[in-house]
Amino acid sequence: AIGNTATAEPDLDAVLVINDELEMVTITEAPAHLEGALDQAISGWHFRDAATRRLETDDFENPAFLHVEQGLTAWETVEGTEGESCASCHGSIEESMKGLRAVLPKVNADGELWSMENYINDCRENRMGAEAWGWNTAPMRDMTAAIALQSRGMPVNVAIDGPAQPYWEQGKELYYKRHGLLDLSCASCHEENNGNYIRADHLSQGQINGFPVYRLKQSNMISLHNRFYGCVRDTRAESYERGGPEFRALELYVASRGNGLSVEAPSVRN
Amino acid sequence: MRTLFALCAAAATAFPAILSAETAPTEVSFSEYGEVFESLTGVPGDPEEGYKSAVSRGAGNCVACHTAQGWSQEQFPGDVGPELTGVGARYEPAQIRGILVNAKHTFPETVMPAFYNVSNLYRPGDGYTGKAAKSPDVTVLTAQQIEDILALLLTFTEE
């Protein structure tokens, strides 16, 4: 091999403990539906360098917490024509939102697959009389980070059967479909080549238990659909709309590949 | 080696009319082993141009997936594909040309992209913009870039 290639394997012995008390499941047996594809589901945390990994172990060092603070402030803030805040209906975010991140996206009462952002905007528009937030805007990312935090450490557990099944199938098809001029699928990079390097990037399994993530490269929170958007764009394809039906179905499918991993949001990536 | 290329290049410019005929991506003929025997342009490849195309993200971006002694000064080449050191000695030119045009004829199901192909693509985009391709005829590399990268790889003869 040549000296200019970085070839550290993911450090699978590392253990993620947050604030010296919360031990996370970052490696677990892959769900049954992945038999033959992956033996283990591994969090993206393992594929980052030691310095990046360390940032996630302490909430005072994790830069995402500045954004969580913004989200918590917005939770208490009255907005819109109805004079309501999130807190006026839901009460404490710690109680009312606990466990939610782990089961999203899910099929709503009307049979539609909804991500957390859909629920938030539904409340803003139809219950608060406030304007919807753009899917990939700062207030939306901050709120999803604050809500996701309430499930930190709980196992991802999205439903893939019943009414979710057709969405799951759609997401699975997208995952394995080669896209773009480079003719690559999610699986080309994240299933077949996790552990390898694509240029300087250490390919992970593309798990989503850490989203929204704080990305050091952008010095900002990154929404899941923006990450999807970038990965599809990098196949030199026409990407999909953030928040659109394709990415929501993909979100469900990819989440299901990590069922059993701890919700790690808000995580830190480079 | 260098003089030989210089001579060929000089010859090429002398007969532009004959040599400008390029094989369209849909007209390339592959042997049953994935080889492409005929030059796509008739113009001999230029390894220096090939180097630029091989390392540029907007062109071949071969360094994303391959390391090679021949581009060891490039930072952080990837390792999704095999090391290309010595590839010019391991393979015949027609085999390498075939791999560059469309590696799936040589390695079915490979993740290596087809660099001179317009068929069976799903949602081709306009470069790295995330927008739809402006034309259905775009290829990742031009015919001449393929010949140039081939010329470069043929200089990778030492193990």
Q: Provide ipTM, 2 decimals.
A: 0.93
User: B86 in contact with A at a CB cutoff of 8 Å?
Assistant: no
Q: Please report which confidence band the pLDDT of residue B21 belongs to, taking 50, 70 and 90 as the band edges.
A: confident
Contact across the interface for B76 and A183, Cβ inside 8 Å: no
Closest CA to B54 of B91, B92, B84, B86: B84
User: B65 in contact with A at a CB cutoff of 8 Å?
Assistant: yes
For residue B6, pLDDT beyond 60: no
Residue A73 burial (CB count, 10 A) = 11
How does DSSP assign B40-55, residue by residue? SSSSPP-HHHHHHHHH
Residue A266 amino acid letter: P
Residue A193 makes CB contacts below 8 A (sequence gap 6+) with A203, B80, B111
Mutate to test the interface with B, among A5, A181, A196 (most CBs of B within 10 A): A181
Residue B125 amino acid letter: G
Number of A/B CB contacts below 8 angstroms equals 105
Q: How far is B55 from chain A (nearest CA, A)?
A: 10
User: Quick one: pLDDT at residue B75?
Assistant: 93
Helix (H) or strand (E) holding A137: none
User: Quick one: pLDDT at residue A150?
Assistant: 98
Residue B88 amino acid letter: G
Closest CA to A24 of A212, A269, A264: A264
Residue A204 makes CB contacts below 8 A (sequence gap 6+) with A10, A42, A43, A44, A46, A47, A190, A194
Strands in A57-198 per DSSP E: 106-107, 113-114, 197-198
Give mean pLDDT, residues B88-108.
98
Nearest-angstrom CA–CA distance, A199 and B149 = 19
Regions of chain A with pLDDT less than 70: 1-9
CA A61 to the chain's CA centroid? 20
Closest CA to A261 of A18, A27, A6, A17: A27
Whole-number Cα distances in Å, A64 to A96, A221, A243: 21, 7, 22
- The answer to whether B40 and B101 are in contact (CB under 8 A) is yes
For residue B20, pLDDT beyond 70: no
CATH numbers and ranges of domains, chain B: 21-154 (1.10.760.10)
User: Quick one: pLDDT at residue B159?
Assistant: 79
Closest CA to B60 of B81, B44, B39, B43: B81
Cα–Cα–Cα angle for B114, B119, B123, nearest 5°? 90
The tens digit of pLDDT for each residue in A15-29 reads: 999 999 999 999 999
Nearest-angstrom CA–CA distance, A28 and A209 = 12
Nearest-angstrom CA–CA distance, A175 and A235 = 13
Nearest-angstrom CA–CA distance, A159 and A155 = 13
Percent of chain B residues past pLDDT 90, beyond the cut: 86
Q: How far is A183 from chain B (nearest CA, A)?
A: 6
Closest CA to A56 of A41, A70, A43: A43
For all residues of chain A together, what is the average pLDDT?
96
Nearest-angstrom CA–CA distance, A231 and A212 = 16
The tens digit of pLDDT for each residue in A170-202 reads: 999 999 999 999 999 999 999 999 999 999 999
The two beta strands, A40-42 and A106-107, are unpaired
The two beta strands, A22-23 and A40-42, are unpaired
Query: Which of B83, B85, B138 is closest, CB to CB, to A181?
Result: B138
Q: Report chain B residues whose CB lies below 8 A from the CB of A188.
A: 111
Query: Which of B69, B80, B121 is closest, CB to CB, to A183?
Result: B121
Nearest-angstrom CA–CA distance, B103 and B92 = 14
